[in-house]
Amino acid sequence: MSNRKILIVEDDGDVRLGYHILLNAHHYDTFFTSDSLSAVSGARTHQADLMILDLGLPTGDGFVVLEKFRANADLAAIPIIVVSARDLHGNKERALEAGAKAYLQKPWDDDELLSIIGQLLGQPDLSVAPLG
Amino acid sequence: MSPRPDVADHPPRILIVDDERANRELLKVMLTPEGFLPLTAASGEDALAMVAQQPPDLILLDIMMPGMDGYQVAAKLKGDLSTRNIPVIMVTALDDRNARMLGLSAGAEDFLTKPVDRAELCVRVRNLLRLKAFGDYHDKYSQMLEGEVVSRTAVLAERTKQAAVLTEQAALLDLAQDAIVVRDMDDRILFWSRGAEVLYGWLSREAIGRRTGELLRTEFSESAEKIEATLLRQGQWEGEAIHHKRDDTRVIVASRWALQRDAADAPRRVLTINNDITDRKRGDAERRLLTERLSLATAVAKIGVWEWDLASNTLTWDATMFDIYGLPPMVPMPFARWSAAIHPDDLPAVEATLQRAIHEKGQAAADFRVVLADGSFRRVSAVERVILDERGNVSRVIGVDMDVTERKEAAEALEQSRQAQIQFKDAFLSHVSHELRSPLTAIKQFSSILLSGVAGELNKEQHEYQQIVQRNIGQLQAMIDDLLEVTRLETGKLTVEPDRVSISDAVTDALDTLRGTARGKGITLSGDVPADLPLAYADQTRLRQILIILLDNAIKFTPDGGSVAIRARLLQQERSCLLLEVSDTGDGISPEVGERIFERLYQVSEPGTASRKGLGLGLYICKELVTRQGGRIWVESQPEKGSIFSFTLPVYSPKEPVRS
């Protein structure tokens, strides 16, 4: 079976590379956009199975992306993990309310990230109980 | 005008006294042709009666008569003041010396011997008449002189009496302490009272005759011409003047002038009464100065003074009050005009305060806003006190309104600036921590990649070194978290939401979290929570946070192979409290550190504590969190043996609200 596809919206190149190495090593295909505007088109083009979303993005807040995904029927089903350097306080709650499935603070723990991805992709019905 | 002695205005009347009719007739016959008017009397008694009725100019008196003889008659006549000047010629037959002596002794002026020679009679009568005329003149003159003396004496007496009265009056004037000065129209001093002597230092005898203007160097507040005109027109003047004393000191006098006019209505003298009001003026000036200072002070401090008369329901305001309220002055001012100026939201409370002060007969204070004509506000702080009338009822309320707009605005600006600073610090720390986390993310990512062997297998050393990198990343991450936590504590963003909490669960959770770290150092972790321990009333997340900080610290400061334990129990002395203890087998804390260990940024700096210290915020955060949950935290330590950090939490009671 082909690898699951993960879209990563992240403006930091180093971090993008880190994602790429880690996720490829765990047999995920990775696609990248570095701004909020191209997130929707990226998800459609690559038919992403999951999205990792940063909040502080050059062309608009990550929350805007969350709203767009929730508003579009073809995208609403894609599980989103928000990974941000922003303070957990306030942001986590808000992100989960906006439709994110999980919230991780940078720098995250790789094992935790991989575990969440595994859960979200292997057991889609877990989405009703947000992780984090 | 003097009488002329030699001119008779009537024929001289000659009284002939003789008991012999023949003798009387003879003499009558002799005298009549000579121009005399002879009168006759037959006895001494008759003669005296006639003399008393109308005195004759001369008497021819017979000596030897029955009844009163000539001597007796003569003596009688000469003994009477009114008849003594009538010349008497004794006519006698006795031509002897003895008889003449008796006659002269009796007062007779001359003698004629019988038989009387006509020529001799006439000469003697004429001579005596002439003499008598002189005598009469002398008498009259003397009388006139005497009369004049008497009248003059009377005038003098009158004058003396008047002088005495004047002196007495002057003495009365002297009793007055006022300086009383009488001067003529040439300003020369006529009278100078004792009071004037005392006031000016000049004696009466020195002052009299001198000009007041020169002596006292008078200075008037108005022109001398004007004063003079007033005096002449109204007959008086009243005002203040400055005089100089003999010793040159200045006195301020209240001066009253009265003009005296003579019979022809011409101005004659001026009475001036001067009172020394220097002290009073100084007092006035001092009072005025004091009032001015007070007004200045209240004006500068923007303190308005007011009085509220309850009976009339009117207000009396000073100028500052009108300034504060931006109203045109109005006296008295209706109460409603004030209440209309108060912000409607503040008015009920302010009026209630006033009513309370009246009800309690005391004082009160209120803060409110005044709405100005342009709609802007003034902040006013008022203090008032009631004034009781003689029956003990509240009649008035007096108070001050202070314009505290600037002060309040300054305080608000300060608070705003403080808030802005806090917000800035908050924003700054959020920003900094965010920016610090981004590179840390990449560092951790790649360190993890290396450790995972994705990029190639690491040898033993490389693996170990990457673990050191990972541990330090963890510390850096913890510091950033602490920094944000403290910021939240100070900005009030950190909220504590107490609820029912199981201590057992919280302890288990905390132990699980740090088991890995403890294992890394070979430290034994243990928990001891009685199964029947009551629930705590606390914030579960915060309790977990406290326990993790304390456990993490304990592990950090405990040498490899030591032990760290959590123990929980019900506090014996206070059964509403739960006690939690985190004990270690570390180096302990020296007693002098004591409670300071809970201070912000406090760092243990002792040799041997080689591990990283962190920011020194963990225990501060613990203390804040414990305190905010109604507990307290403390440390007991024995050097070389270890420390016990203890804290309390309230036991949950069914009365406490439970979050759904």
Q: What is the mean pLDDT of residues B110-131?
A: 84
Confirm or reject contact between B430 and chain A (CB < 8 A). Answer: yes
CB contact under 8 A, B442 and A14: yes
Q: What is the mean pLDDT of residues B232-255?
A: 89
CB contact under 8 A, B452 and A14: no
CB contact under 8 A, B434 and A19: no
| B355, containing H or E segment | helix B347-360
Q: What's the one-letter identity of residue B459?
A: N
Q: How far is A109 from chain B (nearest CA, A)?
A: 8
Neighbouring CB atoms inside 10 A of B374's CB total 6
Residues 6+ apart with CB under 8 A from B483: B429, B432, B433, B615, B617
Is residue A73 within 8 Å of A86, Cβ to Cβ? Answer: no
Buried b (16+ CB within 10 A) or exposed e, B580-594: bbbbbbbbbbeeebe
CB contact under 8 A, B454 and A110: no
Contact map slice: B 345-384 vs A, CB within 8 A: none
Q: What's the one-letter identity of residue B129?
A: L
Four-residue CA torsion sign, B540, B628, B584, B534: negative
DSSP B388-417: E-TTS-EEEEEEEEEE-HHHHHHHHHHHHH
Confirm or reject contact between A106 and chain B (CB < 8 A). Answer: yes
Q: How far is A40 from chain B (nearest CA, A)?
A: 24
Q: Which residues of B touch A22 (CB under 8 A)?
A: 445, 448-449, 452, 454
Between these two residues, B310 and B291, which has the higher pLDDT value?
Answer: B310
Show the tokens assigned to B42: 């037959």
Residue A117 half-sphere exposure toward CB, CA atoms < 13 A: 27
Task: Report how far residue B177's alpha carbon sits from residue B168's, in angstroms, rounded to the nearest whole number.
Answer: 16
pLDDT digits (tens, 9 = 90+) for B387-428: 888 888 888 999 999 988 888 889 888 998 888 887 888 788
DSSP code, position B651 = B
Q: Which residues of A touch B489 (CB under 8 A)?
A: none
Model confidence at B8, pLDDT cuts 50, 70, 90, reads low
pLDDT digits (tens, 9 = 90+) for B362-376: 888 999 999 998 989
Q: What's the one-letter identity of residue B8?
A: A
| B184, containing H or E segment | strand B179-184
Residues 6+ apart with CB under 8 A from B214: none
CA B448, B450, B451: angle at the middle one, nearest 5? 65
CB contact under 8 A, B473 and A89: no
Minimum mean pLDDT among A1-10, A11-20, B88-97, B326-335: which range? B88-97
Contact map slice: A 27-66 vs B, CB within 8 A: 56
pLDDT of B209 higher than 80? yes
Interface test with B, best of A17, A19, A106 (most B CBs within 10 A): A106
**In degrees rounded to 5, what are phi and psi of residue B527?**
-130, 145
Task: Report how far residue B147's alpha carbon sits from residue B143's, in angstroms, rounded to the nearest whole number.
Answer: 6
Q: What is the mean pLDDT of residues B41-46?
A: 91
Q: Which residues of A touch B452 (CB under 8 A)?
A: 22, 25, 110
Nearest Cα neighbor of B73 from B96, B98, B51 is B51
Average pLDDT, chain A: 88
Q: How many helices, marked H, and strands, marked E, lie in chain B?
A: 18, 24
Confirm or reject contact between A89 and chain B (CB < 8 A). Answer: yes
Is residue B31 within 8 Å of B38, Cβ to Cβ? Answer: yes
pLDDT of B444 higher than 90? yes
| B220, containing H or E segment | strand B219-220
Q: Which residue of B has its CA nearest to A10?
A: B438
Is residue B69 within 8 Å of B94, Cβ to Cβ? Answer: no
CB contact under 8 A, A18 and B484: no
CB contact under 8 A, A21 and B454: yes
DSSP helix/strand/coil, B578: strand
- Could you give the C-alpha distances from B281 to B196, B201, B240, B286, B287, in angstroms and in order? 19, 21, 11, 8, 9
DSSP E strand boundaries for B585-657: 633-638, 642-650
Q: What is the mean pLDDT of residues A9-13?
A: 92
Residue B135: what pLDDT?
73
Q: Which residues of B touch A108 (CB under 8 A)?
A: 441, 444
Q: Which residue of B has its CA nearest to A55?
A: B434
DSSP helix/strand/coil, B236: strand
Q: Provide the terminal-to-terminal Cα distance of chain B, rounded to the nearest Å.
A: 148
Residue B408: what pLDDT?
86
Interface test with A, best of B445, B446, B494, B513 (most A CBs within 10 A): B445
DSSP code, position B631 = -
Q: Which residues of A touch B442 (CB under 8 A)?
A: 12, 14-15, 18
DSSP E strand boundaries for B221-344: 236-244, 250-261, 267-276, 303-309, 314-317, 333-334
Q: Which residues of B touch A14 (CB under 8 A)?
A: 442, 445-446
Four-residue CA torsion sign, B462, B464, B465, B469: positive
pLDDT digits (tens, 9 = 90+) for B473-487: 988 888 888 888 887
Q: How far is B598 from chain A (nearest CA, A)?
A: 24
| Closest Cβ opposite residue B442 in set A15, A56, A110 | A15
Show the tokens assigned to B371: 């709405």
CB contact under 8 A, B446 and A107: no
CB contact under 8 A, B441 and A110: no
Average pLDDT, chain B: 85
Nearest Cα neighbor of B564 from B610, B521, B523 is B523
Beta bridge partners of B91: B62, B112
Task: Report how far residue A31's alpha carbon sits from residue B491's, in angstroms, rounded to the nearest whole number.
Answer: 40
Number of residue pairs across A and B with CB atoms under 8 Å? Answer: 61
Is residue B143 within 8 Å of B102, Cβ to Cβ? Answer: no
DSSP helix/strand/coil, B433: helix
Q: How far is B446 from chain A (nearest CA, A)?
A: 6
**Region for residue A92 given its phi and psi (left: phi exceeds 0; alpha: psi -120 to 50; beta: otherwise):** alpha
Nearest Cα neighbor of B381 from B407, B363, B415, B355 is B407
Between these two residues, B564 and B84, which has the higher pLDDT value?
Answer: B564
Task: Report how far residue B401's alpha carbon sits from residue B354's, in angstroms, rounded to the nearest whole number.
Answer: 13
Is residue B70 within 8 Å of B64, Cβ to Cβ? Answer: yes
**In degrees rounded to 5, what are phi and psi of residue B501?**
-135, 135
Neighbouring CB atoms inside 10 A of A83's CB total 27
Residue B95: what pLDDT?
67
Confirm or reject contact between B470 and chain A (CB < 8 A). Answer: no
Interface test with A, best of B426, B430, B448 (most A CBs within 10 A): B448
Q: How far is A7 from chain B (nearest CA, A)?
A: 18
pLDDT of B36 higher than 80? yes
pLDDT of B110 higher than 80? yes
Q: How far is CA B573 from the centre of its chain?
A: 65
Q: Which residue of A has its CA nearest to B426?
A: A87
Four-residue CA torsion sign, B634, B638, B639, B640: negative
Task: Report how far residue B71's alpha carbon sits from residue B56's, in angstroms, rounded to the nearest whole number.
Answer: 18
Q: Which residue of A has its CA nearest to B452?
A: A22
Residues 6+ apart with CB under 8 A from B215: B189, B200, B202, B207
Task: Report how far residue B188's alpha carbon sits from residue B211's, in angstroms, rounded to the nearest whole number.
Answer: 4
Is the ipTM, as predicted for this complex, more than 0.90?
A: no
Q: Which residues of B touch A58 (CB under 8 A)?
A: none
pLDDT of A111 higher than 70? yes
DSSP helix/strand/coil, A131: strand
Q: Which residues of B touch A18 (CB under 8 A)?
A: 441-442, 445-446, 449
Q: Which residues of A touch B488 (CB under 8 A)?
A: 89
Residue A131: what pLDDT?
47
Q: Which residue of A has its CA nearest to B429?
A: A87
Residue A112 half-sphere exposure toward CB, CA atoms < 13 A: 13
**In degrees rounded to 5, what are phi and psi of residue B416?**
-60, -40
pLDDT of B525 higher than 80? yes
Is residue B270 within 8 Å of B231, Cβ to Cβ? Answer: yes
Q: What is the mean pLDDT of residues B556-560?
A: 87
Q: Which residue of A has its CA nearest to B438?
A: A85
Nearest Cα neighbor of B304 from B314, B317, B315 is B317
Q: What's the one-letter identity of residue B230?
A: T
Task: Report how far residue A49's alpha carbon sits from residue A8's, in angstroms, rounded to the nearest whole number.
Answer: 11
Q: Which residue of A has its CA nearest to B475?
A: A107
pLDDT of A59 higher than 60? yes
Is residue A81 within 8 Å of A117, Cβ to Cβ? Answer: yes
CB contact under 8 A, B437 and A85: yes
Show the tokens assigned to B638: 């024995």
Between these two residues, B263 and A120, which has the higher pLDDT value?
Answer: A120
Q: Which residue of B has its CA nearest to A85?
A: B434
**In degrees rounded to 5, what are phi and psi of residue B524?**
-80, 125
| B483, containing H or E segment | helix B460-491
What torsion do the CA atoms of A56, A61, A62, A64 make, to the nearest 10 degrees? 180
